[in-house]
Structure 1
Amino acid sequence: MFNEIKEAVIKFITSRAVIICGVLICLASIMVYRLFSLQIINGEYYLDTFKLRIKKEKSIAATRGNIYDRNGKLLAYNELANSVTIEDVYKSGRGKNKSINTTLNRLIDIIEDNGDSVDQDFKIVLNENNAYEYTVEGNALLRFLADVYGRSSVNDLKYEEKTKTATEVVDDMCKSFGIGDYEDPDDSSTFVPRMNYSNDRALKVLNIRYNMSTNSYQKYIDTTVASDVSDQTVADVMENADTLDGVSIEENTARKYVDSVYFSQILGYTGKVSEDELYELQQIDSNYGINDTVGKSGIEQAMESVLQGTKGSETVYVDNTGQVIETSNYVDSVAGNDVYLTIDKDLTEACYNIIEQSLAGILVSKIQNIKTYTFTETSSSSNIVIPIYDVYYAVFDNNIVDVNHFSADDAGTNEKAVYNSFISKNESVIAEIRAELGEKKTSYDKLSKEYQWYMSHIAANLYNAGILDSSKVDREDATYIAWTNDETISLAEYLKYAIAMNWIDVSKLSIDNQYADSEEIFNQITEYIVSSLADDAEFKTRLYKYLLLDGYISGSQVCDILIEQNAIHVDEEELELWQRGGESAYAFMINRISNLDITPAQLALDPCTGSMVITDVNTGDILALVSYPGYDNNMMANGVDAEYYAKLRQDNSNPLYNYATQQKTAPGSTFKMVSSTAGLMEGVITTDSVIYCGGIFDKTDNPPRCWIYPRGHGGLNVTGGIRNSCNCFFYEVGYRLGIDGESYSPDIGLEKLAKYADLYGLSEKSGIEIAESEPQVSDMDAVRSAIGQGTNSYTTVGLARYVTTVANSGTCYNLTLIDKTTDSNGNLLEEYSAQVRNIIDMPQSYWNAIHTGMRQVVQDKAYYSNLGVAVAGKTGTAQESKSKPNHSLFVCYAPYERPEIAIATRIANGYTSSYAAQITKDALSYYFELRDEDEIISGTAQTLQDGATNAD
């Protein structure tokens, strides 16, 4: 029995199943032991070891290509620079937001204490009232909101998300990122967005957090906090590296621009790619990433694919603090290619300076030592003058001085005195506004000009804030008309009526009771008005105007404040004269403008802007494209300087606007070569046809007059019509173009004019590679359209293409700014040239008639008599408003015998076309080297001859 049992046990033990089970049990035991060892005994060690070797694939940015002018002079290049970056190395959990925000606040302090600035490319900024506002609108705004609220499409946005104000979006995001504090630390429901944060600091932290969030799917991708920082910032960040988790210094390149103010509108600038830009760029090159720097405008944007280069890559292992401990698989980047432009650097700078000093000369000639100028029905836009008190006010209005410094501890004597006057004025105006909204209720037409401005401003703000709901307002209502058109009721009466008519959105007011009566609503509106004016920069600046006019601030105080704030340079001799009372405030300010201590752009009084485009007649290359004023695009690249950008946005001269490619006005009489071509080609006139000018054209209703009225030019052929810029001659041409059988049809005339405007390229953009406004060929009144009125509206660059076509007798180019591209070693990659758009096939006798007329235009101008080169051109004056100076235009080409260049010049609100012609004369003198450069570009105001009575 025992042996049987023994054999059975042995047989069982030695069976295949038992052996397999034993082996499995042993393996399982080993695995359990190993897991115990890994997770329990040595778990902490292996966890630390894992954290110390985190693998990530890192891209290496390529060096961006350079930009040169046609002669190889450098315009844009790269410079080695250091950036401050942060990686998300923070542990998840409730305290994560607080940890990141604490680090960012410390980091921002370090950066700003050393004079550097945090990069800001958010779609929300602080305006002059220290309030949040969007920098985009329309579809761009909706796409931004979709990104903020995590919607895959703008169509998925909820109504309340689409209608959020900038402040509401900031608060929503601050709450999401924990930017704020708790009223009760133990109650998470008491979190208040931005609590203990200034508006500026909250926006900076929010901007960084938002950028970090876009990398959340790749946790260890760097987010740039500040670009091109100083050595001191680098040292301070490295010194505090042990307490600034995830923060590091990266060496890269910064984009730099040479003589930036002259070329900012052409070159544009670079910046971090936006979501929309990234999507478009990835359709072309999938290697683009969310942290890439790309061209944001100008040539930088237009030639992005050429300038960008090819990124490199490497595998990086980092420790738990984000420090690199090992790299491998290094692939070097390939530098971007270089771009050569058609523009001439020296010519462009010279033309910019010529425009600036000429604008200063116009201003000096128009400024008078008076307080105000009143435009009346008998006034002419050609004789408008500028009161010196407008100049004094411009010092405040366009931030030539820093009014915020008036209340500083180190403010000067005059700053303090003016600030005290301001405080007193502010209090009295607020009190009077309360009284007007309360018991006074003075009708608008009975108010002073000062208080009319206040009331209009308040009403506009109520509409902008949505308190007055414009969608509900009935514009046919008698009370609405009484307020807006008749001006016979007070603002208080209008608001009370608006409340009764339910035109008020009470949700915008601080009213707890949804059943509040009309009086309570009106009281809340009053409180809103008063509180909003306390932070209203436009209102506060306006107070200085009336302080000046009422004598509470003197012109001398304005001059002294300019000196106290070092806003101007005054030589010692004049400063001594000023300080001993030997110079009037009027003379002092005239000297500042004459010496360009204060520029026309800084004053932002009409005229303060101008543009000029010079082309090569025979190639269609643009030799100079000038927009005055420009800006420093070095402050916009490598991370936007928020303070500088805000200043540009508030600048009344609008330097971000390209006046050469975006500003459109009527062409005035410069259009008359188009009308001449139409008349000749359509057979309504010949070169020998004579049209009589008696000073008025009486074949249509509301007969238009010639500029020479009440005199007349008598009989003129087409050459004489151009020479004398005779309106009646071209009225007749426009009329004849519209003749259909026995009757006149303006539509037929317009159609024919449009046909020839198109042949000169005026119906389309000029072809240049940067942003340009669409032209407008007139669709109203063929008679007036024939002299460049109607709804004709063109850019300066569009007029430049037109006059280039005239100069070369019919070859219309698609203009270009690009000459060639090369690789980083200078090897030619591609040559560019302007493409021929179309050719105007017209008899040479017609061209001769037009050219002769243009030549005679210039010959009749005394200031062109001793130029040294024969010029053919055409002046033009365009009226936009009777209460503002006319726009001044001039187009020309030279030399007359064998044209080389064509020029189009526009001075917005430049009074008379004679000024544009004289400015162009200086540009011609520079190009053909007819005078010494120092004589042409004096650096001081250029005195121009007043040609207001000349033909336009």
Structure 2
Amino acid sequence: MFENIKEGFVKFITSRAVIVCFVLFSLACILVYRLFSLQVINGEYYLDSFKLRIKKEKTIPAARGNIYDRNGNLLAYNELANSVTIEDVYKSGSGKNAAINETLNRLIDIIERNGDNVDHDFNIVLNDSNEYEFNVTGNSLLRFLADVYGHSSPNDLKYEEKTKTAEEVVDDLCKTFGIGEYETPGVSSSFVPRKGYTNDRALKILTVRYNMNANSFQKYIDTTVASDVSDQTVADVMENAYTLDGVSIEESTARKYVDSVYFSQVLGYTGKVSEEELAELQKTDSSYGINDIVGKSGIEQAMESTLQGTKGSETVYVDNTGQVIETSNYVDSVAGNDVYLTIDKDLTEACYNIIEQSLAGILVSKIQNVKTYTFTETSSSSNIVIPIYDVYYAVFDNDIVDIDHFSSDKAKETESRVYQSYLDKNAAVLAEIRNELLDKKTPYDHLSKEYQWYMSHIAANLYSDGIINSTLVDKQDDTYIAWTTDEVISLTEYIKYAIAMNWVDVSKLSIDNQYADSEEIFGQIVNYIIDELSEDFDFQTRLYKYLLLDGNISGTDVCNLLLEQEIVEITEEEQSLWNRGGESSYTFMVNRISNLDITPAQLALDPCTGSMVVTDVNTGDVLALVSYPGYDNNMMANGVDADYYAKLRSDNSNPLYNYATQQKTAPGSTFKIVSSTAGLMEGVITTDSVIYCGGIFEKLDHPPKCWIYPRGHGGLNVTGGIRNSCNLFFYEVGYRLGLVGNSYSPEIGLQKLAKYADMYGLSEKSGIEIAESEPQVSDEDAVRSAIGQGTNSYTTVGLARYVTTVANSGTCYNLTLIDKTTDSNGNLLEDYSSSVRNTVDMPQAYWNAIHLGMRQVVQDKSYYANLGVSVAGKTGTAQESKNRPNHSLFICYAPYEKPEIAIATRIAYGYTSSYAAQITKEALTYYFELKDTDDIISGTAQTLQDGATNAD
């Protein structure tokens, strides 16, 4: 029995089922043990080990230093802000581009829905015609193209790369980043760049992708999509984080500017460093990186090394969910140093406002209730009037009203009616242009002025678009001259001739047949012209001019557009008067300008710009450097607002241009102090020499005339010559300077004038720390150069250094905008002061004669009577164009007995020097506190006296 039991047991334990059960049981025990070990014994250890640990070396940006005025008033500072960033966490593969682009598309929707803007730090922008264009030129453009096409140097660019249009560059990059759609899925050759996106959205996605690509060589580097975003954007991004791979919110600082419009041209703004800037900065500081924020212009750029702090660093470990699990090796950043300017904040703001309200006063005095003004040979540039219809058109031409809103579903009554008039006009003009090109072929000189403008505009576009290759055009060709100079042939004839001469690039046209004949090519050009005009903002805007002149849009319509779009607000009393027809559209518009509801800058009619520089004559400090109009540099820092930047670029008043440091014009009669100095020092005149002015200078073959001709000034010494701004007196001085024995040499005369212009600092930049144009000392016609004509051309700040040297009797400073620098705790680091460039060593009797002449200039101005401070100055009028007003200039110093400040003022196309002198008088009144500020800065148009018509 035992044997049976034993045998049965052996069979049982050796059976396959038992073996299988045993194995399974053993495995179960092992599994239980491992689970116990993993979760209980070593649970915490393995949990930490399971979590993905990524080591990131992060830099901690330093706070940028503040900028203050000379009195410690804050001008630029930093504010805590949030930025939206994206990191490339996407898996490589065929679907990567589509995934990133989809994320960015949804992210941009969120950002813009909340009123924030995507940063635009790309060198291609959209213009008003919804076309791509470069926003850099020259070497900067070549550097950008080299970066785009992967070259280390612009010299490596192929011809076809360096000649790419902005649109072609965009399309190339869109292909690289997959921004578009495939017409046939899976077929790479069927990819259409930008398909499925607007031009605007494609550019925004492209900008981010380009910046992400620039960071691709560094791991775990975020790319900023939008800076200084609202709390709502932060909340929305975080709420949608699970669908926005790689997107996060980062704490940062935003650069802020106080009363920005007044100081934008001096301070400049900050932005992301470009490749070109980075290469330059790394020459002196290797710590700069591709994502750094640096000064892009103005003091921000000039004092970059001072304002830029020292970065900190830390080592961060993150898990597979992106959460920080450990931080080590923390090194704090060091804030940048502070910069104090020589600028006086209050004085600068006052001068800016004085210029603006004075420009408004000039405009109001020149506007007449007429449709047009025709300049004739007998017209004077000092008597040009502004037709009210030019004012009406400026409302459209300079984007005062939003033309796009006319076609929206929220458009109001006048907007809708005006838009319908526009549609009708647009259709009629396009049809007539097609008819003109294909059938009528009217010679240019037989066209109406309206259609002459259209044809000129079309021709210009054919050149700029590369349809007609301007490099191939023979400028001496008879047909070319017949079109451009003689204007006796039609545009059709010129285009067909260009085709025959192979000046046309057919590759830019939609021609499938490579053997197309000239008629087919011409037909495609006509189609191209019509298609392009349909999207051409300048053409579309111009239609409103002719709608106004034809009476299809009235002045009343323009005023109602301003009211409907809430561009202007009027009192209930005026609104009631307007509604019942008690106020004309002419009066309505003049009132808006008088009240500065619409500013000279917005109208962009002559004059709409001005500049003024105030210096301390005893130190060379610049107390005010004013350029009107300015802009809001808050919109340019922290990631450029693309829409605002586009508006600035298209603004006819050019607010991005520094009129105080970049604009150059002839100095007019302000140059006569140089000529006086040259004449006295070279011994061709003495303080007692008398030169007779009979009105005409007859020692040259083509005799120039004095401004007083046909009358004359009679006999004048140098003081009288300055006082009366006598052209003939200084013609004679210029002539004598060129005498070698009894022979006149204009070259010798020019050399002597240049010698003394150099002594006053006019041959070089003024010394200020921000960008400035190179001056031009005249190199032709010594006689006319002696009165500030010839090729003399100077900036306002250059004239300010010149008059500063006159005021202090010979000390020529290198002007400065920097007072001192301190650390973030206020400890002095460096005390700046202007350096002396040279001195003008001249007998005091000569200085006295010059100063007295300048004093008498001002004493003869009735508007300077009883000012309360004695002033010496010199007016200047410079003609640049016969059919535009003259430039208006004035230089001065005060007090006459013991000078403290000097001022140079220029009003481009400002009619008469009298206006610049009166504007300067108001600045002097403010500086010396001769009136209450409210009486000086009224906030309304300043009425100015008409000065005597002269050519000083």
Provide the TM-score with structure 1 as the length reference.
0.95
CA distance in 1: counterparts of 2:768 and 2:100, whole angstroms: 46
* Aligned equivalent of 2:578: 578
Q: Distance in 2 between matches of 1:50 and 1:469?
A: 65
- Residue by residue over 1:170-205, the C-alpha shift from the partner in whole angstroms, topping out at 9 and shown as x without a partner, is 111111111111122232332211111111111111
The residue number in structure 2 matching 1:87 is: 87
Counterpart in the other structure of 1:42: none
Q: Distance in 2 between matches of 1:84 and 1:300?
A: 24
Give CA deviations for 1:770-800 in whole Å, capped at 9, x if unaligned.
Answer: 0000000000000000000000000000000
Cα deviation 1:275-322 (Å, max 9, x = unaligned)? 111111111111111100000000000000110010000001123343
Q: CA deviation at 1:951?
A: 6.8
Is 1:69–2:77 an aligned residue pair? no
Q: Distance in 2 between matches of 1:473 and 1:178?
A: 38
Q: Which amino acid aligns with 1:382?
A: S
* Structure 1 position 477 matched with structure 2 position 477: yes
Task: Tell me the CA shift for residue 753 of structure 1.
Answer: 0.1
Residue 732 in 1 paired to residue 732 in 2?
Answer: yes
Q: How does 1:709-858 map to 2 (within 5 A)?
A: 709-858=709-858
Q: 1:491-546: per-residue Cα shift (whole Å, max 9, x none)?
A: 11111111112221111111111111111011011000000000000000000000
Shift, 1:619, TM fit: 0.2
**Farther off after superposition, 216-225 or 293-302:** 216-225
* Residue in 1 that maps onto 2:249: 249
1:40 corresponds in structure 2 to none
SS of the equivalent of 2:379 reads coil
Moved more, 236-245 or 726-735: 236-245
For each residue in 1:230-252, what CA deviation from the matched residue of structure 2 results, as whole angstroms up to 9, or x when unmatched?
00111111111122111111111
Q: Say if 1:681 and 1:666 are closer, same or farther in 2 by CA, change over 3 A.
A: same
Structure 2 Cα separation of the partners of residues 323 and 524 of structure 1: 60
CA distance in structure 2 between the aligned counterparts of 1:127 and 1:321, rounded to whole angstroms: 42
Aligned residue in 2 for 1:200 = 200
For 2:494 and 2:75, the matched residues in 1 are separated by 57
Matches of 2:727 and 2:145, distance apart in 1: 53
Pair 1:926 & 2:916 matched: no
8 Å Cα contact 2:317/2:327 also seen in 1 = yes
Within a 5 Å distance, the mapping from 1:360-375 to structure 2 comes to 360-375=360-375
Q: Quote how far apart the aligned CAs of 1:469 are.
A: 1.4
Q: How does 1:366-445 map to 2 (within 5 A)?
A: 366-445=366-445
**Are the counterparts in 2 of residues 87 and 219 from structure 1 also a CA contact under 8 Å?**
no
Instruction: State the alpha-carbon separation in 2 of the partners of residues 734 and 352 from structure 1.
Output: 37
Q: Tell me, in whole angstroms, the C-alpha distance in 1 between the residues paired with 2:164 and 2:51.
A: 42
What is the CA-CA distance between 1:156 and the residue it aligns to?
A: 1.6
Question: CA contact under 8 A between 1:246 and 1:322: conserved in structure 2?
Answer: no
Partner residue of 1:6?
Answer: none
Q: Find the counterpart in structure 2 of residue 309 from structure 1.
A: 309
Shift of 1:50: 7.6
Whether the 8 Å contact between 1:724 and 1:951 is mirrored in structure 2 is no
Question: 2:107 matched to which residue of 1?
Answer: 107
Kept in 2, the 8 Å contact 1:911–1:948? The answer is no
1:891 aligns with 2:891: yes
Deviation, structure 1 residue 97:
1.0
For 1:707-760, what per-residue CA distance to the aligned partner results, in whole angstroms no more than 9, with x for missing partners? Answer: 000000000000000000000000000000000112000000000000000000
Larger mean CA deviation between 58-67 and 320-329 belongs to: 320-329
CA distance in structure 2 between the aligned counterparts of 1:304 and 1:51, rounded to whole angstroms:
43
Q: Which residue of 2 aligns with 1:235?
A: 235
Superposed displacement of residue 219, structure 1? 2.4
Secondary structure, in 3 states, of the residue corresponding to 2:614? strand
AA at the equivalent of 1:440? K
Matched letter for residue 129 of structure 1: S
Structure 2 segments unaligned to the other structure (5+ residues): 1-44
Q: Equivalent residue of 2:111, what SS? A: helix
Separation in 2 of the partners of 1:373 and 1:310? 60
Q: Is contact 2:878–2:951 with CA below 8 Å preserved after alignment?
A: no
Displacement of 1:157 after TM fit? 1.4
Q: Provide the C-alpha distance between the structure 2 equivalents of 1:302 and 1:321, rounded to a whole number of angstroms.
A: 43
Decide whether the 8 Å contact of 1:914 with 1:950 is kept in 2: no
Correspondence 1:96 to 2:105: no
Q: Deviations over 1:4-62 (max 9, x none)?
A: xxxxxxxxxxxxxxxxxxxxxxxxxxxxxxxxxxxxxxxxx999968721101000000
> Is the CA contact 2:83–2:228 (under 8 Å) kept in the aligned structure 1?
yes
| Structure 1 residue 934: Cα displacement | 0.6
Aligned pairs for 1:557-596 (under 5 A) are: 557-596=557-596
Q: Does 1:120 align with 2:120?
A: yes
How much identity, in percent, do the aligned residues show?
83
Contact kept? 2:443, 2:487, Cα under 8 Å: yes
Q: Distance in 1 between matches of 2:414 and 2:924?
A: 46
Measured in 2, the distance between the counterparts of 1:472 and 1:303 equals 46
- Answering whether residue 284 of structure 2 is matched by residue 284 of structure 1, we say yes
1:132-151 equivalent positions in 2, closer than 5 A = 132-151=132-151
The change in CA–CA distance for 1:926 and 1:131 in structure 2 (over 3 A counts) is same
2:905 corresponds in structure 1 to: 905
Alpha-carbon offset, residue 325 of structure 1: 2.4
Q: Is the 8 A contact 1:815 1:835 kept in 2?
A: yes
**What is the CA deviation profile of residues 360-381 of structure 1, one whole-angstrom value per residue up to 9, with x for unaligned ones?**
0000000000000000000000
User: Residues 256-655 of structure 1: matches in 2 within 5 Å?
Assistant: 256-655=256-655
Give the CA deviation at 1:950.
Answer: 5.5
Counterpart of 1:695? 695
Provide the secondary structure at the position in 2 that maps to 1:284: coil
AA aligned to 1:914 is S
Number of equivalenced pairs? 910
CA distance in 1, matches of 2:51, 2:207: 29
Pick closer, same or farther for the CA change 1:47–1:757 going to 2, 3 Å: farther
CA distance in 2, matches of 1:278, 1:627: 29
Structure-1 separation of matches of 2:209 and 2:561 = 41
- Kept in 2, the 8 Å contact 1:455–1:491? The answer is yes
For the residues of structure 1 that align with 2:370 and 2:660, how far apart are their CA atoms?
Answer: 34
Contact persistence 1:891–1:904 (CA under 8 A): yes
What SS class does the counterpart of residue 722 from structure 2 fall into? helix
CA contact (8 A) 1:616 1:623 kept: yes
- Alpha-carbon distance in structure 1 between the residues aligned to 2:707 and 2:440: 50
- Of the structure 1 ranges 88-97 and 625-634, higher mean CA displacement relative to structure 2 is found in 88-97
- 8 A contact 2:877–2:951 mirrored in 1: no
Task: Work out whether residues 67 and 341 of structure 1, in 8 Å CA contact, stay in contact via their aligned partners in 2.
Answer: yes
In 2, distance between residues paired with 1:103 and 1:479?
55
1:323 deviates by 3.3
What corresponds to 2:23 in structure 1?
none
Structure 2 counterpart of 1:392, which letter?
Y
